[in-house]
Amino acid sequence: MADPVFTMKGVTKVYDTGGAKVHALAGVDLELPGGELAVLLGPSGSGKSTLLNILGGLDHVTDGRVWFRDLELTAMRDRELTRYRRDHVGFIFQFYNLVPSLTARENVQLVTDVARDPMPAAEALELVGLGHRMDHFPAEMSGGEQQRVAIARAIAKRPGVLLCDEPTGALDSKTGIQVLEALHQINRDFGTATVVITHNADIQKIAHRVIYFQDGRISRIQENTTRLAPADISW
């Protein structure tokens, strides 16, 4: 197995909202190998987004330790976590968070302008199949195209990991599959470790491993001996 890109040991997360404590994560141990495409599945409220936000340095653990390669995230101050996110993490969310007044190329350039070793915005857009739409505005694009711009923006800084929270949640099957194809191709060609949260059980077929959550814990991990290409799934 490749060296882990993430290691989590005994991670708990308790939200304390005025008296009522919510145990969002109740003791998670996990290693994610470099180059892996992992899908996280589990019922609503089982802790998937909490885990992703902790891996992405967007949230702090209550207890336990987390490493990205040999960097311990749980030992970092907020400034260091900000730098970690900027240098290493590409985020993709259900809603694309593009700036409506900027073209696709300009949306990607927002990231390449501040990244350490970015690829040109045009190259990132070519990679997601949008080389011909670079000068279009988000309102001129379909949901799937906008999500692919968001993927181009996330990959343009050549991140070590791509963290995707319901990337196809707002899309129909056809455009959702185009988005998964872009993620699949980047994982395969660049070896970018990719974590995808989904409620869509069909998507698990494209993963190397499927990690099931239940009540803030990992209830099961399934290794896929055969994987399907995104074009071979439907929902």
Ligand X SMILES: Nc1ncnc2c1ncn2[C@@H]1O[C@H](COP(=O)(O)OP(=O)(O)OP(=O)(O)O)[C@@H](O)[C@H]1O
Angle at 127 between CA 133 and CA 229, to 5 degrees: 115
Q: Does 187 bind ligand X (CB under 6 A)?
A: no
Between 48 and 133, CB nearer to ligand X? 48
- For residue 223, which of 200, 207, 199 has the smallest C-alpha distance? 207
Site for ligand X in 6-65 (CB under 6 A): 15, 17, 22, 24, 42, 44-50
Q: Tell me how far, at minimum, the Cβ of 22 lies from ligand X, in Å.
A: 5
Q: Tell me how far, at minimum, the Cβ of 120 lies from ligand X, in Å.
A: 34
Cβ burial 208-226 (10 Å sphere, 16+ → b, else e): bbbbbbeebbbeeeeeeee
Number of residues that bind ligand X (CB under 6 A): 12
CA distance 92 to 153: 9
Angle at 215 between CA 52 and CA 209, to 5 degrees: 50
Between 2 and 221, CB nearer to ligand X? 221
Between 42 and 167, CB nearer to ligand X? 42
Give the binding site for ligand X (CB under 6 A).
15, 17, 22, 24, 42, 44-50
